[in-house]
Chain A
Amino acid sequence: AQSVTQLGSHVSVSEGALVLLRCNYSSSVPPYLFWYVQYPNQGLQLLLKYTSAATLVKGINGFEAEFKKSETSFHLTKPSAHMSDAAEYFCAVSKIYGNKLVFGAGTILRVKS
């Protein structure tokens, strides 16, 4: 079975500071990994995905994530937070040959001015 743990249900950073959202996964088979962002009362938008190519993945809006197999992690980072980054972020895992995603519980990012 696959699972995702997102450490920290709420993260607060100052505008211009580093954003680090943590995600650890559990999977008995090689995984695909995803980060999604959700703004209030909207659907989820794909930020980036890892599909067994490069371990450092760059996404939209300046975000990136690094797949570390030894640590079973896929943490999301952004060098400098903007007010517009305030949202809820979800990490998700799937099997390469599967057709379902398993989501983490989400992390709400607050950006202080």
Chain B
Amino acid sequence: SQTIHQWPATLVQPVGSPLSLECTVEGTSNPNLYWYRQAAGRGLQLLFYSVGIGQISSEVPQNLSASRPQDRQFILSSKKLLLSDSGFYLCAWSITTGGYYNEQFFGPGTRLTVL
């Protein structure tokens, strides 16, 4: 069966510090991978998605970046965190079968607090 891992689970970082959040998926190949952010009262915001290694699409301009160094690994980074980067970060995966889209499965999330 497929599983998705995110770490760390919680993180407290000072403004201006770097960030690296990691997401890995097990039990599937060539998944679509996604990073979302939930900020208080702002719902789910899609930040990045990737349909393959090295292929990253950015949905929202910001000081975050994403990379996919391996098929089942997705990393969210920042060089300098802002207060507004605080939130709950969720990674998700899906597969596309015969051109048809399938549902997304979410990881447990990372709670980031920027002070």
Contact = CB atoms under 8 A, between A and B. Distances in A.
A109 B34 CA distance: 26
Contacts of A46: 103-105
A90 B109 contact: no
A28 interface: no
Contacts of A105: 43
B99 interface: yes
A106 B43 contact: yes
A45 interface: yes
Contacts of A45: 106
Contacts of B51: 99
Interface string B88-107: 10101010100111011111
Interface string A73-97: 0000000000000000010001111
Nearest to B9: A41
Interface residues of B, number: 23
A49 B103 contact: yes
A99 B103 contact: no
Interface string A51-83: 100000000000000000000000000000000
A103 B44 contact: yes
Contacts of B86: none
B46 interface: yes
A99 B32 contact: yes
Contacts of B108: 42-43
Given A32-B101, A44-B106, A100 B90 contact: no
B43 to A, nearest CB: 5
Nearest to A103: B44
B104 A101 contact: yes
A95 B94 CA distance: 14
A44 B99 CA distance: 24
